[in-house]
Structure 1
């Protein structure tokens, strides 16, 4: 369910921006500020999808917001001037990361309407890592703009999918919320240049052996009910994210995430078989509880795995 904030008052608009984006926002509008509208959909506990409309022309100043913000400008113009960096202007259709989470900024808005993903930077370390070195380096984006036009289109597609998924509600569904948040982060890492290392090192290739894979599988099967990350799987296997991904690809021709999803499909099947018709348990409820964004996707995955729809459990059919 979306929360909507709307005002024509400058001070209230400053409060809305500060409450939702952190820092201490200050609007310099003179007589040109007409309105602010913010429509926010939460992906608890670490992400949010917003649609923002600014009326007419004004300047805003803000401290570091402590979040990764990814924008797509639908109409109007935005100019961002991060502290210690040059100003960059964005126009209609542009996708961009306006500022680093730890830097303050000033911005100029001209009748801008845009949508954003507001993500906890901690999500980055759950899905990727930087090159090994003497000193641990944080995952960071190295460019404000997408690697290509095709990459920008990929971001739009995934954002739209995520928005449609969360608008039906993810509160109380940690597996679903976590998967959507990490999908957004993983997509951002493919769309915007960054300092992560995806290719396995020599050490990663050495570590991607069957014994390590068994440790990873044991962790997944024992924790599939939790909102776990590939980084947690790798830590349990005592290797890097790159090594655990290589091991699943090398020995099982799949990925840790796909194997986790397959494990959860089994759990969903077990729950459906335990449920009695009198309990009122539906396929849609079970699907969402185990991380599927839509019943159709769950039914398709179930049919691929078991050969029948979930309403016709293969375990109860005659041989």
Structure 2
């Protein structure tokens, strides 16, 4: 397993040309901005590869025209008011609100008033890892049918997910350096986005999906998981290895084992982490490092799962 670089960037300027160049390079090469005199932009961003989280503050009135944003951009206004026009509709968004800046591939325009906005940028390929069927079955792109969360509870779920990723993954050097942790965090954000915002991502299993959810499919999937547990793999990768759709492999695990492919993978990685704890030198290894190596970003969650499975906390296994 190789380390995934997590990079932090900071930008602070009052120069309109520098601000335009920075925002264009970061979000959209054809971005258009209009600002008044005395404008200042402060931008702090942590880039983890498949996703990035940024906090950006500005002191003036900024007009933005976007043609093709890089990825899916989900915003949460902390203190600013934002007017957004996209796909023939116009919305006024206030502090605390969560929203899509635009649908992927569609232009939008924003008027951003003084204040702070939090941004999460997701690579579109990550959405496919948690939502679509295998390439051989029903190919197609995900389409968002709404730009706001379906409910206020779902908006709160998005805020909680971003806070968790920020606190547990991006602010933890040991966890943030592990590819399994970054991959899991990216898919967590993608799954949250597809749950929070109305979309065409989730469909019911077809008759073909149910027909393919066999014990043979399950054995193929489990063999793949056992051989690749140390890799950053998604449910779509598992389905592809089994030669069926994502719905089929999910149904196979539920039908025969009463679980999901990713929950089975988590259990398998817990076993591998246990083996590492048993063999590790406590003078050179830590529980957190071993947990992160196997994709467990939260030390407390790992400890709870480990204790439930082995009857002792992982620290006790390491020091025995």
Q: TM-score, normalised by structure 2?
A: 0.91
Q: Which among 100, 103, 111 is matched to residue 114 of structure 2?
A: 111
- Report matched runs for 1:159-308 at 5 Å: 159-165=162-168, 166-169=170-173, 170-278=175-283, 280-308=284-312
Report the CA distance between 1:96 and its aligned residue. Answer: 0.8
Find the counterpart in structure 1 of residue 154 from structure 2: 151
| Structure 2 match to 1:26 | 32
Matched, 1:124 2:130: no
TM-score, normalised relative to structure 1: 0.91
What is the DSSP-based 3-state SS (H/G/I as helix, E as strand, rest coil) of the residue aligned with 2:106?
coil
Shift of 1:174: 0.3
CA distance in 2: counterparts of 1:134 and 1:174, whole angstroms: 29
- Match for residue 4 of structure 2? none
**Secondary structure of the corresponding residue to residue 277 of structure 1:** coil
Residues 65-89 of structure 1, C-alpha deviation per residue, up to 9 Å, x if partnerless? 231011111122112233x533332
- Does structure 2 conserve the Cα–Cα contact (< 8 Å) formed by 1:34 and 1:56? yes
Gaps of 5+ in 1: none
The correspondence for 2:85, drawn from 78, 81, 88, is 81
Structure 2: tracts of 5 or more residues without a match: 1-6
Give, in angstroms, the shift of residue 246 of structure 1: 1.3
Query: Does the C-alpha gap of structure 1 residues 168 and 250 become closer, same or farther in structure 2, counting only changes over 3 Å?
Result: same
Whether 2:310 is the aligned partner of 1:313: answer: no
Matched, 1:48 2:52: yes
Per the alignment, residue 9 of structure 1 pairs with 15
Number of matched residues? 312
Is the deviation greater in 261-270 or in 11-20?
Answer: 11-20
Secondary structure of the corresponding residue to residue 313 of structure 1: helix
Counterparts of 1:250 and 1:66 in 2: how far apart (Å)? 39
How far does residue 105 in structure 1 lie from its aligned partner after superposition?
A: 2.7
Greater CA deviation, 226-235 or 73-82?
Answer: 73-82
* Preserved CA contact (<8 Å) 2:134 2:240: no
- Quote the offset at 1:5 in angstroms: 1.4
Q: Is contact 1:131-1:196 (8 Å) kept?
A: no
**TM-aligned CA distance change 1:130 to 1:8, over 3 Å:** same
Shift of 1:133: 11
- Of residues 79, 94, 99, the one that matches 1:96 is 99
Asked if the contact 2:75–2:99 (Cα under 8 Å) also holds between the matched residues in 1, the reply is: yes
- The residue number in structure 1 matching 2:71 is 67
Instruction: Give the Å deviation of 1:134.
Output: 9.0
Q: CA RMSD in A?
A: 2.2
Give the whole-Å Cα distance in 1 for the aligned partners of 2:312 and 2:203: 37
